[in-house]
Amino acid sequence: MASTTPNTKVVFVCTGNICRSPMAQQMLEQLAKKHNLPLSVTSAGVAAMTGDPMTKESAEVMVQRNYKPTAHKAKDLTLKLLTDADLVITMTLEQRSDIARMLPRASKYSFTLDEFARLASFLKSDPGFTEEFKKKPRETRAQYLARALKEAVLLRGMVPTGEEPKDVMDPYGEGIEVYSEVAEQIDLMIQVIVDWMAA
Closest CA relative to residue 81, chosen from 9, 3, 5: 9
Instruction: Determine the pLDDT at residue 5.
Output: 43
pLDDT digits (tens, 9 = 90+) for 13-68: 999 999 999 999 999 999 999 999 999 999 999 999 999 999 999 999 999 999 99
Tell me, yes or no, whether 2 lies in a domain.
Answer: no
C-alpha 42/C-alpha 85 separation (Å) is 10
Is the residue at 107 inside a domain? yes
3 in a structural domain: no
- pLDDT tens digits along 104-162: 999 999 999 999 999 999 898 888 887 778 888 888 889 999 999 999 998 887 777 66
Number of folded domains that form the chain: 1
In a domain, 1, yes or no: no
Q: Give mean pLDDT, residues 70-98.
A: 97
What CATH number has the domain bearing residue 130? 3.40.50.2300
Q: What pLDDT score does 126 carry?
A: 85
Model pTM score: 0.93
Please give the Cα distance from 186 to 85 (Å, whole number). Answer: 20
Answer yes or no: is 45 within a domain: yes
The range of the structural domain enclosing residue 70 comes to 8-197
